Amino acid sequence: MAARGANGRVPSLGVVVITYRARRLLERCLAPVLASPLRPAVLVVNSSSNDGTVELAQRLGARTWVVPRASFNHGLTREAARRRLSTDIVVMLTPDCFARSADFLERLVEPVAEGRAAVAYARQVAAEDADLLARFGRRFSFPERSELRSLADAARLGSAVHFCSNACAAWSNAALDRIGGFKATLVSEETIAVCELLEAGERIAYVAEAVVEHSHPTRLADSFRRQFDIGWTRQVWRKLLL
């Protein structure tokens, strides 16, 4: 059953899927979203991969938007996508996230729809064939118990208070509007947004009952690039990030 807001109205829902060469992943990712009783508007954003991702998305029933590869930005592309949908709540999703239950979308958006949080993110579990480091990382970052956090929890949690993952997260568009939306950044657009939301007095929900399978092989070169980009982002936003 769809959660209702304080005004008794069921919020409108949109889902943005950011893709590049995602044809082999897309159908498994989109199937539970398109089948959800919440009937979300689905927008598949593609960075000009020309591998059939866009055509498949259209056949499945999603709207599509092709972005020139050279102009893609993790923050600004998501910002433009959420404004294109213009729904009350927007779920950011990557195509390698696969729902573990048919009701994951309802569970994910519930704290935002009910006004208990400005953003809610799902629990991620590693694929069955994931390597040891990938499995450990998911277990460490995504525990089995849900949590509602505010800035007051920073004394207890430190920088973990603003942890979030846009691989699968639901956002209040009104709350994002109040902080000026997602910012231009190499990576970690969700971390920057969460920090700004917490500073503005909002809360963030971790929804352990909304489970998705999402993991990557821990290749040394990829890990180095990822950590370099995160370090660069933290330096640029050092006045905001704890």
* Total Cβ atoms within 10 A of residue 23: 17
Residue 89 CB coordination number (10 Å): 27
For the segment 66-78, what is each residue's pLDDT rounded down to a tens digit?
999 999 999 999 9
Residue with tokens 């009910």: 114
Residue pair 21/51 in contact (Cβ under 8 Å)? The answer is: yes
How sure is the predictor about 227, in pLDDT bands with cuts at 50, 70 and 90?
low
Residue 239 predicted with pLDDT over 80: no
Give the per-residue pLDDT at 126: 94
152-171 pLDDT, tens per residue?
Answer: 999 999 989 999 999 999 99
Alpha-carbon span 115 to 159, nearest angstrom: 24
pLDDT for the residue 71: 93
Per-residue pLDDT, averaged over 217-224, amounts to 61
E strand or H helix at 181, and its extent?
Answer: none
> Whole-structure pTM over 0.85, yes or no?
yes
More confident residue, 92 or 128: 92
Find out whether 14 and 90 touch, Cβ atoms under 8 Å: yes
d(CA 90, CA 68): 23
| % of the chain residues with pLDDT over 90 | 76
H or E element: which one contains 81? Answer: helix 74-85
Cα 111 from chain centre: 15
CA torsion, points 48, 53, 54, 56, in degrees to nearest 10?
170
Do residues 182 and 75 lie in contact, with contact meaning Cβ atoms separated by under 8 Å?
Answer: yes
pLDDT of residue 213: 97
Q: Which residue has the higher pLDDT, 49 or 226?
A: 49
